[in-house]
Amino acid sequence: MRKYREEKYTDDEIIAGIQKCAEDLGDPSFGIKRYVEWREGQEKGVYASAPLIIRRVLYPSGDRGWSAWKVAAGQKSNGRRGGENFGKASFTEQEMYLALARLEGSLGSFPTVMEYEAMRLKTEPSIATIRYRMGRWSQTLSQYRDWKKSHCKETWNIEIPQD
């Protein structure tokens, strides 16, 4: 078997895998975590990995993400990203920066990746979301400092460290 087999799945193969998972689980509204658990019990390389499914663009619609693939497979979406927001970013940049600012206020310094993930609220973006949208953690810090200089200097009494 090829080392990079995952990249070779067709859209139809991904959809068939999601349909097979729903059939085996007997639950059309299963989430991605249950798909991952189900896939671990299957023959290696037969079904696409969850990260591949999430990042792969669904043609011809141009949508991407778990919900897009679930709907394409004729399964129920979990509802978090349906309707008019389907396939769009769940969090704005402003919401990501505000989550970072909240933790910085609590900690007194910019959080590490581990601190952020341990202390973030469930309503705030995950590390994976932030990295996907903003890049490496050091890039996120740089972008956050720029945002804070332009949006928070007068509103909050936070000293901005100079590089």
CA distance 99 to 109: 13
DSSP the chain: --TTGGGG--HHHHHHHHHHHHHHHT-TT--HHHHHHHHHTSPTTSS--HHHHHHSEETTTTEESHHHHHHHTT----STT-GGGTTS-SS-HHHHHHHHHHHHHHHSSPPPHHHHHHH--TTSPPHHHHHHHH-SHHHHHHHHHHHHHHHTTTTS-------
Query: What confidence tens digit (pLDDT) does each residue in 106-151 have?
Result: 999 999 999 998 998 888 888 888 888 888 999 999 999 998 888 7
pTM for the model: 0.46
Domain boundaries, the chain: 5-85, 93-151
Average pLDDT, the chain: 79
* Mean pLDDT across 154-162: 51
For 61, 87, 89, 150, the CA distances from 84, given in Å and listed in that order, are: 14, 9, 12, 31
CA distance 141 to 100: 9
Query: What confidence tens digit (pLDDT) does each residue in 70-116 have?
Result: 888 888 765 554 444 444 557 888 888 999 999 998 999 999 999 99
Residue 158 has pLDDT above 90, yes or no: no
